[in-house]
């Protein structure tokens, strides 16, 4: 053991220490694992495409042209080079609609996941750390929430709130805070049973200090992973609601809305379904990969 101590190189000054710490941080940032890198890259690309949709879109997503309706994508007989991914039954450009649909999808993903995460995490922390009545209430609420089929509840909520982006986000937040609350509550309890928390109590730190400074830092990997998963789920829920015809107004292009119309004209233009479905598939997968990778990357012990 004495040898291990001496193998730790002595550091001369505070400045050298700071530099070293910065280098360490940079290296840690670069040594992202493959899942984080791959998932994150796809999310970033998707986000950029959505943000810059007005600049890069090949066409107006709403412009109908019944003369060039249900044109197949490039590479199939009868394709029009102006429509890379073909057109739908009203002659609207599929690629343009995908790009604009991404705006709704990513807005919903980030806002809904963030809010659900915030509410669920706070409630989970309170239930898991302060226990007693707070825990009883939150646990019962979670039980009741879990007894609703989430898709049915979201449809119901949007029906109540009226359609629109805000309703969709509100519905997702109201339904999915439980995902965070459940996990965070359990994880908080598990951490609270560890001796580093007892040590903090033995020092005399106030309860809130122990929660925020000792426990919460150890929950980050889980919370970040959940946030990423939730973003993927939100995209799906938005698509489901659009599919049922309850999401945002029908003249805003959404992936779910495209899927719904694609389902109608399955045999005339399969690409109208296939294109948004593929995008949905890749997006959800990316959020999953990113979340799973982040859980590992952020964990100081697992990262070794």
Partner 1 sequence: MSDVLIACEGVEVVYGTRRQNLGLEPGGIKVLHGIDLEIRRGESVGIVGESGSGKSTLGRAILRLGDVAAGAIRFAGEDITRFSEARMRPLRRRMQMIFQDPMASLNPRHRIRRILAEPMLFHRVCAAGEAGARIKRLIDRVGLHEAALERYPHELSGGQRQRVGIARAVLLEPEFVVADEIVSGLDVSTQAQALNLLKGLCRDLGLAMAFIGHDLSVIRAVCDRVYVLQHGRVVESGNCNQVFAAPRADYTRALIDAIPLPEPDPHWLARESLPS
Partner 2 sequence: MIVSVINRLVVAAITLVGVGAIVFVLLRVVPGDPIAMMISPGASPADIAALRARYGLDADLATQFWMWLKALLSGDFGMSISLRRGVLSLLAERLPATLELAFAALALAVALGLFLAVLGTLARRTVCEPLIDALNGLALAVPDFVWALALVLAFGVFVPVLPLSGRINPSIDEGFVTHFYLIESLLRLKLTAFADVASHMAMPVIALGLPLAAVIVRLLKEALKEAMVQDYVLLARLKGMSELRLILQEALRNAIGPTLALTGVQFTFLIGGTVIVERIFSYPGIGNMAVDAVINRDLPLIQGLVLMFGLIFILVNLAVDALAAFFNPRLRHG
The footprint of partner 1 (CB under 8 A) covers 1, 4-6, 8-11, 17, 20-21, 194-196, 198-207, 213-214, 217-218, 300-301, 304
DSSP 71: P
194 binds, among partner 2, partner 1, none (CB under 5 to 8 A by kind): partner 1
Closest among 192, 186, 208 to 139, alpha carbons compared: 186
Rounded to a whole number, what is the distance in angstroms from the first to the last CA of the chain?
20
- CB 8 → partner 1: shortest distance, Å? 4
* 54 touches, from partner 2, partner 1, none (C-beta below 5 to 8 Å by class): none
Alpha-carbon Rg for the chain in angstroms: 24
What's the CA gap between 235 and 98, in Å, rounded?
13
Point out which residues pair with 272 in neighbouring strands: none
DSSP string, 5-50: HHHS-----HHHHHHHHHHHHHHHHHT--HHHHHHHHHHHHHHHHH
The alpha carbon dihedral of 241, 243, 246, 250 has a sign of positive
Chain-centre distance of CA 144, in angstroms? 24
Nearer to partner 2, 107 or 139 (CB): 139
Least distance from partner 2 to the Cβ atom of residue 136, Å: 11
For residues 253-282, which are near partner 2 according to CB under 8 A?
A: 259, 263, 266-267, 270, 273-274, 277, 280-281
Site track for partner 2 across 101-140, x = CB under 8 A: ---------------------------------------x
Distance in Å, CB of 122 to partner 2, minimum? 21
Please report, as residue ranges, which positions from 185 to 214 form the binding site for partner 2 (by CB under 8 A).
Answer: none
Among residues 186 and 216, whose Cβ is nearest to partner 2? 186
- Distance of alpha carbon 165 from alpha carbon 112, whole angstroms: 10
By CB under 8 A, tell whether 285 contacts partner 2.
yes
| Continuous segment of H or E residues that includes residue 223 | helix 216-244
Which of partner 1, partner 2, none lies near 27, with the C-beta cut-off 5 to 8 A by kind?
Answer: none
Nearest to 176 by CA among 221, 229, 216: 229
- Work out what residue 1 binds among partner 1, partner 2, none; the CB cut-off runs from 5 to 8 Å by kind: partner 1
Helix/strand/coil for 243: helix
Cα–Cα distance measured from residue 82 to residue 300, given in angstroms and rounded to the nearest whole number = 51
Q: Which range of residues in 75-83, 186-194, 195-203, 240-248 is near partner 2 by CB under 8 A? A: 240-248
Residues that bind partner 2 (CB under 8 A): 140, 143-144, 146-152, 155-157, 159-160, 162, 232-233, 236, 239-240, 243-246, 259, 263, 266-267, 270, 273-274, 277, 280-281, 284-285, 288-289, 292
């Amino acid at each position: 053991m004495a040898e291990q101590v001496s193998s730790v190189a002595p550091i001369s000054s505070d400045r050298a220490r700071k530099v070293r710490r910065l280098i360490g941080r940079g290296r840690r940032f670069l040594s992202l694992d493959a899942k984080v890198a791959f998932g994150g890259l796809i999310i970033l690309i998707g986000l950029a495409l959505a943000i810059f949709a007005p600049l890069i879109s090949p066409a107006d997503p709403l412009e109908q042209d019944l003369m060039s309706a249900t044109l197949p994508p490039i590479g199939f007989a009868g394709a029009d080079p102006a429509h890379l991914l073909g057109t739908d039954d009203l002659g609207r450009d599929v690629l343009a609609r995908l790009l604009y649909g991404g705006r709704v999808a990513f807005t919903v993903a980030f806002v809904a996941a963030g809010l659900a995460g915030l509410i669920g995490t706070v409630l989970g922390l309170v239930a898991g750390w302060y226990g007693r009545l707070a825990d009883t209430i939150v646990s019962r609420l979670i039980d009741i929430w879990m007894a609703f089929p989430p898709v049915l509840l979201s449809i119901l909520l949007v029906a109540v709130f009226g359609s629109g982006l805000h309703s969709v986000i509100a519905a997702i937040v109201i339904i999915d805070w439980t995902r965070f609350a459940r996990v965070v509550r359990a994880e908080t309890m598990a951490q609270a049973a560890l001796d580093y928390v007892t040590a903090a109590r033995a020092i005399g730190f106030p309860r809130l200090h122990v929660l925020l400074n000792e426990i919460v830092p150890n929950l980050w990997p889980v919370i970040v992973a959940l946030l990423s998963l939730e973003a993927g789920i939100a995209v799906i829920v938005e698509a489901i609601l659009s599919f049922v015809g309850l999401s945002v107004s029908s003249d805003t292009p959404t992936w779910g809305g495209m899927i719904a119309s694609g389902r109608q004209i399955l045999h005339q233009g399969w690409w109208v379904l296939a294109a948004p479905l593929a995008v949905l598939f890749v997006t959800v997968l990316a959020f999953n990969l990113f979340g799973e990778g982040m859980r590992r990357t952020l964990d100081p012990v697992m990262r070794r």
